Amino acid sequence: MDTASIDQIIDRHQGEASSLIQVLLEIQREYHWLPQAALREVGRKLKVPMARIQHVATFYKAFSVVPKGRHRVHVCVGTACHVRGAMRVLESVQDLSGIAPGETDLEHKFSLETVNCLGCCALGPVIEIDGKVHGNVTKAGIAGILGRYE
C-alpha cells in the first residue's frame, strides 16, 4: 500500500476529521477496498480513533474491508427482472466468473453481488458493472458483456 497516495487524499480534505467518509470513499475508489494499513494511516492523520473508523467502514455498504475485484458486478433479482429471467442470468455470471454472490474471484477481477432493484425495471433483466447498466440481458449475452471488462 502506498501511504503517499493516502496522505494526498487526506491532504485534499485539509486533514479534517469531519471528512472521514469522503476520505474513505476516495481510498475505496483507488484500492477497491479499505486495507487495514490505510485505515490506520487515516486514523493517525485525522486523529480519529480506530474504533470510529472501523464502525464507519463496516456500517456503510459502499465500503469493504476485504479485497474486492476491479469490476463490481450487480445482478438485479428484483421482481421485474426475476420474472424476465434474472436467475438464469445470475447462473450464467456465476458459471463464467466462477464466483457466487458475495464473492470475489482469485485474480480480483470481479466481485459479484445481487441487488433487489437497480431502478430500470423496463430493461430487465439488468446487470450493472462498475456503474454501467446493461439491460435486456440474456444468458447467451453474458459472456460478451463480461468480456468487455478484461
pLDDT tens-place string over residues 8-39: 999 999 888 999 999 999 999 889 899 999 99
Please tell me the pTM assigned to this model: 0.77
CATH number of the domain bearing residue 142: 3.40.30.10
The letter for the amino acid at 108 is H
| 64 part of a folded domain | no
Same domain, 79 and 131: yes
pLDDT tens across 68-104, in order?
999 999 999 999 999 999 999 999 999 999 999 999 9
Cell of 145: 458483456
Q: H helices of 32-137, where?
A: 36-46, 50-59, 79-83, 86-97
Q: What is the mean pLDDT of the chain?
A: 93
CA nearest neighbour of 104 among 2, 33, 1: 33
Same domain, 55 and 75: no
Q: Where is the domain boundary, 59, 80, 98? A: 59
Give, for 73, the enclosing helix (H) or strand (E): strand 71-76
pLDDT of residue 1: 67
Query: Distance between CA 93 and CA 96 in Å, rounded?
Result: 5
Task: Tell me: pLDDT of 65 over 90.
Answer: yes
Query: Distance between CA 21 and CA 147 in Å, rounded?
Result: 33
| 80 part of a folded domain | yes
46 is in which domain, residue-wise? 3-59
Same domain, 102 and 53: no
Same domain, 98 and 135: yes
User: Which of helix, strand or coil describes residue 119?
Assistant: coil
Give, for 110, the enclosing helix (H) or strand (E): strand 110-115
Same domain, 75 and 53: no
CA torsion angle 80 60 91 103 (round to 10):
180
| 130 part of a folded domain | yes
Same domain, 78 and 40: no
| 65 part of a folded domain | no
Work out the number of other CB atoms within 10 angstroms of the CB of residue 66.
Answer: 9
